[in-house]
Amino acid sequence: MASSLAVFSAPSVASLSFCQRVSPSNRSFAAAPALTAPVSRRFVVRAAEPLNPDIQKDNPKVVDIVDPTTIEKQTSYCRCWRSATFPLCNGSHVKWNKETGDNVGPLLVKAAPASS
């Protein structure tokens, strides 16, 4: 007997109201009993190491305030937490991305065009 794949279609994440069994060999559909129990799943992802390695560790939360009127053309802000010039980007994300396979880059903030 061919194995089958269960396909679920639900109007909301909280409950599954319809279930079909799909046979990969002939793609025929057969109705199966509806699932009426609520479905709730939680995923918690914990990093193997802290995201912030050593920036302002004595503070409960790292917060930097930037006045956008002080930006002349464009400023790059660090999002990888590896910059020696934090909160400004110094390109440390390039090494981080090569080491980890990540794809993080800076936050670029451009000055607003001068109003005339």
Provide the residue-wise pLDDT of the chain in tens; the chain has 116 residues.
443 334 434 343 343 333 444 444 444 444 444 555 566 676 666 667 778 888 999 999 999 998 888 888 999 999 999 999 999 999 999 999 999 899 999 999 998 887 76
Number of structural domains in the chain: 2
Q: Looking at residue 31, what is its pLDDT? A: 47
- 82 shares its domain with 114: yes
With beta carbons less than 8 A apart as the criterion, state whether 78 and 52 touch.
no
Say which of 57, 61, 73, 95 is annotated catalytic: 61
Is 20 a domain residue? Answer: yes
Its domain, for residue 30, covers 1-42
Is 47 a domain residue? Answer: no
Question: Bridge-partner residues for 22, per DSSP?
Answer: 5, 29
Q: Looking at residue 114, what is its pLDDT? A: 77
- 114 shares its domain with 57: yes
Is residue 61 part of the annotated active site? The answer reads yes
Q: What is the CATH number of the domain that holds 106?
A: 3.40.5.90
Q: Looking at residue 80, what is its pLDDT? A: 93
